[in-house]
A and B are shown apart, each in its own frame.
Chain A
Amino acid sequence: MIVGQALRDQQRELNVFRNRILLVGFLILAAFGVLVARFTWLQVFQQEYYHTLAEANRISVVPVVPNRGLILDRNGEVLAANYSAYTLEITPSKVPNVERAIDELATVIEVSARDRRRFRKLQEESKNFESLPIRTRLTEEEVARFAVNRFRFPGFEIKARLFRSYPQGEVASHAIGYIGRINDADLKRIDNAGLTNNYKGTDHIGKLGIEGAYEKELHGVTGSEQVEIDAGGRAIRALARNEPISGNNLVVTLDLTLQKIAEQAFGDYKGALVAIDPKTGEVLALVSRPGFDPNLFVDGIDPQNWDALNNSPDKPLNNRALRGQYPPGSTIKPFMALAALEYKKRSPEYSISDPGFYSLPGVAHRYRDWKKGGHGSVNLHRSIVVSCDTYYYGLATELGIDSIHSFLTRFGFGQRSGIDIEGELGGVAPSQEWKQQRFHQKWYGGDTVSVGIGQGYMLATPVQLAAATAMIANGGIPVHPHLLKAVQDSKTQEMRPFADPNANAEALVKPQNLALVRSAMVDVTKPGGTAAQASAGAPYPIAAKTGTAQVVGMKQNEKYDEKRMKREHWDHALFIAFAPADDPKLAIAILVENGQHGGSTAAPIARQVFDYLLLGKKPQVKIEPPKDDAQPQDDEHD
């Protein structure tokens, strides 16, 4: 009985157990059913959504920066090129203590004090999340050494980038300009021009010179690449690529050898030179001394170099050719003579008797000629050859300032020449109205007298003088000085020549008047002329005019004595010329700061330039080999 009870209990228990197992089995089925439902929801109904998310995770569209166009001189010499190099960059926002991280980096690869300074300056100028270079031009070995230690440096990244290099160093730096990192002002300009997308991934932009002016041609069109990235953001492989279109190459009008010869001819002098083909307006040389090494700006300039350039009393960053406004001095005389002929205020035969000074009627003040005692009998021709001041004092007074203003304006004075790089200043071709507006003062007769010899309120830039000289050389046709010769399309390789807006301009002065002035300018370079010495022995005729511009004003009866003056107070020397005079190939304007006499310091520079261009003759002085390194230039010029 008891056994039976126990058996029944056992049987009952087994039944309970089996029922519960069955129940549990159903529950398990239900639970797995829930899972399968969940999987179905995710993988069937939501599949598209999650597919999109997965693709967004793995695919990143990165801009592909186009290669910047090259800048070549008219003979194909490279003035600005690209090279590919490794840089080590830091994203400051990803590094907790940047200074300490750089200290640590210095134990792995070399980090110079200059690198640190430059990085600190970049950091001040940039946003925290931007990737900034701490080291540029890493060697393969340095790249390898860093790669091994990479884990120690979160927020550091090796990047292979194209860099700009200016193989000619200082040569033509003011014409070529440079590129630098895009700053806030650049960003705003890019934004306003609607080019934000095209500048994604680009962190340099042309700042000055040709680099700045032809940024649009040089930059190219940014492409894009779809890359697969991993969770760490590293690119694994490229999926699709929309090729960038390289920037167009620029062929500029400069002749590199001519440019080098011109720069070296300056020696230690500061100053500027602009040499123009009078028929086309092409600028064959554009010198502003001292220059600077544009390579310093490419990776961001370090504070030391920046201070050196910016605070130097020599102002190497100032483009004197475009921005230097100097009294043209006697170089204005050929233009005044032309005005006299055009306005029929003088005939070629008319002579004055020069006592060595000029006085306005009824005024005691004497305007002195540069030559004590005067030049005797002076007609228009001789007034240019000997540079007679007295002739022009009287002439200016008779012409009147407003006639002078309107005539000089024809030759481009008082307005920008329109040269195709930025920063040009307009000079001053004064008028009554100009003085009223500028100084709220009446124009006096004495003001006009000074303008007659290119002093007083008259100011001109070297490029203006060169363009005006080119007009005398080419028969009076306005020229538009320009540095671009042609654009080489990066896709078709086709050359698109510079479109000269002045191509069909007409002469603004009568040919017979011009011929008179030109013949006088030729005699300037002959024995008895003010530039005879520098032109001696030239197998081609040169037409020229010398000039001197006072840096400090002289009192009545005070004598100019260079020995008693500081060098920076010495007069500036000026020289305008074109050659060969009968078929001009080149018109040139030269300013030598504190050079004193146009004939002795400026004219020999012109002679070297002409000799090379017309005779292929190179001066004795050595031509520096091209620099390919961006080391700081410690040897300053004074």
Chain B
Amino acid sequence: MISRAFEFLSRRIDGPLMAALALTLTLGLTVVYSAGGGAGMERVMSQGRNLAVAFVALWIFAHIPPQTLMRLALPIYVCGLSLLVGVALFGEVRNGARRWLNLGVTSIQPSEVMKIGVPLVLAWYFHRHEEALRLRNFVLAAIILVIPVGLIARQPDLGTALLIFASGFFVIFLAGLSWKVLASLMAGGLASLPLVWSMMHDYQRQRIFTLLNPMEDPLGAGYHIIQSTIAIGSGGVLGKGWLNGTQAQLDFVPERSTDFILAVFGEEFGLVGNIVLVILYLLVIARGLMIAANASTVFSRLAAGAITLTFFTYAFVNMGMVSGILPVVGVPLPMISYGGTALLSILAGFGILMSIATHKQLVSS
């Protein structure tokens, strides 16, 4: 009975990936507890509920066969795109940015939908044209990518726009975009940097300045980054010990439960902890890339690759930002930061990866 229930639950679950995820998420809960200070237990309970929801999403996505997912890709994309247009026209302004769409019942951020929608639709597009991929296919793919990215960047939400652009770009790159085009794109990109600079908002430019010299405004724009590097640096090799980080516990690290949770972790668990976390991420990514390499269809491969690389991007951008080598953008540390939305989209993505991993044999047999 129990074994049959286990069999039912685990049929579409990839063991190694699941193990790496479980380890990372457990680590995340311990840090959420510490970062929560007095409200630690409450936070852990709340994050536990988020996890339960996210695991249900993972389990459901793992059971959707890749072919079905492929058929859903275009509708998801179109739906997301129209929502983005809706935001641009009727969106709510919160904190100076037009990101939210009020649907009467609830408010949603359509850019979250596109985090999955964009890589899926591009994977679907390349899958359809797998026989004869030409340059114009890549151009069209680029257009499919640039429209939503542009809309999101205009909200303005540059961080999310860049992450979605990255996820789409990974698909195009993995689909085989030639090195020549890639090189010229990079040259063109570099050349257009001044143009991009002139189009950026003041606060976005300020973030770059802050990265270059945080001490210029230690109590204003530089405060986050100064306090988080102090937290990490003072942690040393072994850390100050769980719940003993002075920077974290005395409130010096801002947003310590969400975007800056790595500062808490690094302070309390030290270099050793940071390396363990990097290794856990590497395990997840390595398993993801293996699934992509062994996937049976173009769609599966590209989708799996893009999901894995997007995950990497989140982790890298967040860790780079908190340790002071990348500008501050609103990206949580995947599977560690407190918060439900990001957790949901990440575990849904891993659900797709597991679906790809477990449905492959059925197709080939």
Q: Given the complex, which residues of B lie within 8 Å of A6, measured CB to CB?
A: 131
Q: Given the complex, which residues of B lie within 8 Å of A51, measured CB to CB?
A: 233-234, 236
A133 to B94 CA separation, bound complex (whole angstroms): 41
A229 to B231 CA separation, bound complex (whole angstroms): 15
Q: Given the complex, which residues of B lie within 8 Å of A9, measured CB to CB?
A: 131
A229 to B250 CA separation, bound complex (whole angstroms): 7
A430 to B231 CA separation, bound complex (whole angstroms): 78
Q: Let me know if A44 and B325 touch, CB within 8 A.
A: no
Q: Let me know if A50 and B278 touch, CB within 8 A.
A: no
Q: Given the complex, which residues of B lie within 8 Å of A17, measured CB to CB?
A: 174-176, 292-293, 301, 305
A38 within 8 A of B: yes
- B234, B236, B285 — most chain A CB neighbours (10 Å): B234
Q: Given the complex, which residues of B lie within 8 Å of A47, measured CB to CB?
A: 233-237
User: How far is the CB of B171 from the nearest CB of chain A, in Å?
Assistant: 11
Q: Let me know if A20 and B174 touch, CB within 8 A.
A: yes
A9 to B176 CA separation, bound complex (whole angstroms): 12
A306 within 8 A of B: no
B357 within 8 A of A: no
- Select which of B176, B235, B312, B324 is within 8 A of A43 by beta carbon: B235
B320 within 8 A of A: yes
Q: Given the complex, which residues of B lie within 8 Å of A46, measured CB to CB?
A: 233
- Select which of A10, A25, A39, A58 is within 8 A of B275 by beta carbon: A39
CB interface residues, A 1-39, toward B, < 8 Å: 6, 9-10, 13, 16-18, 20-21, 24-25, 28-29, 31-32, 34-36, 38-39
- Select which of B230, B235, B325 is within 8 A of A53 by beta carbon: B230
A34 to B278 CA separation, bound complex (whole angstroms): 11
User: How far is the CB of A580 from the nearest CB of chain B, in Å?
Assistant: 72
Residues 55-75 of B, flagged 1 when their CB comes within 8 A of A and 0 if not, give 000000000000000000000
A130 within 8 A of B: no
B298 within 8 A of A: yes
Q: Which chain B residue lies CB-closest to A29?
A: B282
User: How far is the CB of B358 from the nearest CB of chain A, in Å?
Assistant: 19
A28 to B227 CA separation, bound complex (whole angstroms): 27
Q: Given the complex, which residues of A lie within 8 Å of B229, measured CB to CB?
A: 42, 50
Q: A21-B292, A21-B305 are in contact. Are A43 and B271 (CB under 8 A)?
A: yes
B247 within 8 A of A: yes
Q: A6-B131, A39-B274 are in contact. Are A44 and B237 (CB under 8 A)?
A: yes
A44 to B237 CA separation, bound complex (whole angstroms): 6
Q: Let me know if A231 and B237 touch, CB within 8 A.
A: no
Q: Let me know if B173 and A35 touch, CB within 8 A.
A: no
User: How far is the CB of B231 from the nearest CB of chain A, in Å?
Assistant: 7
Q: Let me know if A21 and B174 touch, CB within 8 A.
A: yes
Q: Given the complex, which residues of B lie within 8 Å of A43, measured CB to CB?
A: 232-233, 235-237, 266, 270-271, 274
Q: Which chain B residue lies CB-closest to A13?
A: B176
Give the interface SS of chain A, mostly helix, strand, loop or mixed: helix
A113 within 8 A of B: no
A302 within 8 A of B: no
User: How far is the CB of A192 from the nearest CB of chain B, in Å?
Assistant: 36
A17 to B126 CA separation, bound complex (whole angstroms): 13
User: How far is the CB of A94 from the nearest CB of chain B, in Å?
Assistant: 14
- Select which of A28, A39, A40, A230 is within 8 A of B251 by beta carbon: A230
A424 within 8 A of B: no
Q: Given the complex, which residues of A lie within 8 Å of B292, measured CB to CB?
A: 17, 21
CB interface residues, A 501-541, toward B, < 8 Å: none
Q: Given the complex, which residues of B lie within 8 Å of A20, measured CB to CB?
A: 173-174, 176
- Select which of B170, B174, B233, B278 is within 8 A of A35 by beta carbon: B278
User: How far is the CB of A292 from the nearest CB of chain B, in Å?
Assistant: 47
Q: Let me know if A58 and B252 touch, CB within 8 A.
A: yes
A57 to B252 CA separation, bound complex (whole angstroms): 8
Q: Let me know if A232 and B312 touch, CB within 8 A.
A: no
B289 within 8 A of A: yes
B309 within 8 A of A: yes
A606 to B37 CA separation, bound complex (whole angstroms): 73
A36 to B315 CA separation, bound complex (whole angstroms): 13
Q: Let me know if B316 and A54 touch, CB within 8 A.
A: no
Q: Which chain A residue lies CB-closest to B304?
A: A21
- Select which of B230, B289, B293 is within 8 A of A50 by beta carbon: B230
A6 to B234 CA separation, bound complex (whole angstroms): 59
Residues 157-181 of B, flagged 1 when their CB comes within 8 A of A and 0 if not, give 0000000000000100111100000
User: How far is the CB of B246 from the nearest CB of chain A, in Å?
Assistant: 5
Q: A13-B130, A13-B298, A43-B266 are in contact. Are A54 and B246 (CB under 8 A)?
A: yes
B319 within 8 A of A: yes
Q: Given the complex, which residues of A lie within 8 Å of B274, measured CB to CB?
A: 36, 39, 43
A151 within 8 A of B: no
B350 within 8 A of A: no
Q: A17-B174, A17-B176, A32-B281 are in contact. Are A39 and B323 (CB under 8 A)?
A: yes
User: How far is the CB of B84 from the nearest CB of chain A, in Å?
Assistant: 28
A277 within 8 A of B: no
Q: Which chain A residue lies CB-closest to B246?
A: A58
Residues 247-278 of B, flagged 1 when their CB comes within 8 A of A and 0 if not, give 10011100000000000001000110011001
A236 within 8 A of B: yes
- Select which of A16, A32, A38, A229 is within 8 A of B325 by beta carbon: A38
A49 to B170 CA separation, bound complex (whole angstroms): 40
Q: Given the complex, which residues of B lie within 8 Å of A40, measured CB to CB?
A: 271
Q: A21-B293, A42-B229, A44-B237 are in contact. Are A16 and B246 (CB under 8 A)?
A: no
A450 to B239 CA separation, bound complex (whole angstroms): 91
Q: Given the complex, which residues of A lie within 8 Å of B174, measured CB to CB?
A: 17, 20-21, 24
Q: List, sorted by A's number, 18 A–B pairs whose CB atoms are closer than 8 Å.
A: A17-B301, A25-B285, A28-B282, A28-B285, A36-B275, A38-B324, A39-B274, A43-B236, A43-B271, A43-B274, A50-B229, A50-B230, A53-B230, A54-B231, A54-B246, A228-B246, A230-B250, A231-B252
19 additional contacts, CB 8 Å, given A17-B292, A20-B173, A229-B250? A10-B130, A24-B170, A28-B282, A31-B316, A35-B316, A35-B320, A35-B325, A36-B274, A42-B266, A42-B324, A47-B233, A47-B234, A51-B233, A54-B230, A54-B234, A54-B247, A55-B234, A57-B227, A58-B246
Question: Using a CB–CB distance below 8 Å, which chain A residues touch chain B?
Answer: 6, 9-10, 13, 16-18, 20-21, 24-25, 28-29, 31-32, 34-36, 38-40, 42-44, 46-47, 49-51, 53-55, 57-58, 228-232, 236
Query: Which 7 pairs, one residue from A and one from B, show the smallest C-beta to C-beta distance?
Result: A50-B233, A54-B234, A231-B251, A42-B233, A230-B250, A43-B271, A50-B234
